Amino acid sequence: MPATYIPCMVKPARPRAFRGQLRMVRAILDCISPFPARKNLRKKVMRPGQSNVQGFTLGMTKKLNVHDKLVSSKYNKRFPELWLACQRLIETAVPNFKYNCIQVNKDQQTAAHVDAFNKGPSIIVGFGDYEGGGLIVRYRDASIQGDIHNSMLAFDGRVLHETEPFKGSPRYSLVFFTLALKHTLLDKQPSSPSGSSTKLGTCKRNSL
């Protein structure tokens, strides 16, 4: 596995199907009320003064107080239509992408954080009625910003990243990633793979 994965935009393999499936996911999410909110499990992504995070995980998750076991998320059964729609969404974009988790977020401007148990690249997509809200990946010598509104971006969750400010609501985001049993933290935050460049290229799908 390379030291880090260079952030890049993901061009869907089937653009028309991707857009249609994204509308389907949005329609399902709009019907979820109240939206699940957690107070204690995702403190690292909270901004100062924030009391909870609207979001949940589909796929696999870590069992509380058991560090060597992954279990199926309770939300797979609670929201089966969403679980299926999200799987179909990633299949239209990167058919062979490997993941075991999907983080679902609503109206969350995440604070700068690293995902210590991620393995391999993550893919994020944002959608909804908002402006701004891109992803910022912060290296030691440069910051790379990507517009994820109705677009997919691949990045390394072990590198410091956060959400830029946004206006409007709802702002949904989905993050597809592989959750590992042991932490995969980098020894130190790396320099930008492209030097001081902040320009995003397009991913080669066979590299994801």
pLDDT tens digits along 49-63: 888 899 999 999 987
pLDDT higher than threshold 50 for residue 2: no
Please state the rounded mean pLDDT for residues 145-174. 96
Q: Are 45 and 106 in contact (CB under 8 A)?
A: no
The domain locations on the chain are: 11-183
* Model pLDDT, residue 196: 44
pLDDT in tens, 63-109: 766 667 899 999 999 999 999 999 999 999 999 999 999 999 999 99
* Residues contacting 103, CB < 8 A, separation 6+: 55, 57, 173, 174, 175, 177
Fold classification of 11-183 (topology level): Jelly Rolls (2.60.120)
Q: Give the pLDDT confidence of 167-206 residue by residue, as tens digits.
A: 999 999 999 999 988 766 666 667 666 554 456 778 876 6
pLDDT at 198: 56
Identify the pLDDT of residue 68: 73
**What's the confidence (pLDDT) of residue 69?**
84
pLDDT of residue 182: 77
Instruction: Average the pLDDT over 22-45 and give the result.
Output: 90
How sure is the predictor about 17, in pLDDT bands with cuts at 50, 70 and 90? very high
Q: What is the DSSP letter of 110?
A: P
Q: Omega into 193 within 30° of 0, i.e. cis?
A: no
For residue 102, the model assigns a pLDDT of 98
Percent of the chain clearing pLDDT 70 (strictly above): 86
Rg of the chain over Cα atoms, rounded to whole angstroms, equals: 16
62 token code pair: 């870590």
Whether the model pTM is above 0.85: yes
pLDDT confidence of residue 39: 75
Predicted pLDDT at 1: 37
Query: Residues 21, 92: contact at Cβ < 8 Å?
Result: yes
pLDDT for position 5: 73
What is residue 64's predicted lDDT score, i.e. its pLDDT? 65
Q: Contact 176/120 with Cβ under 8 angstroms?
A: no
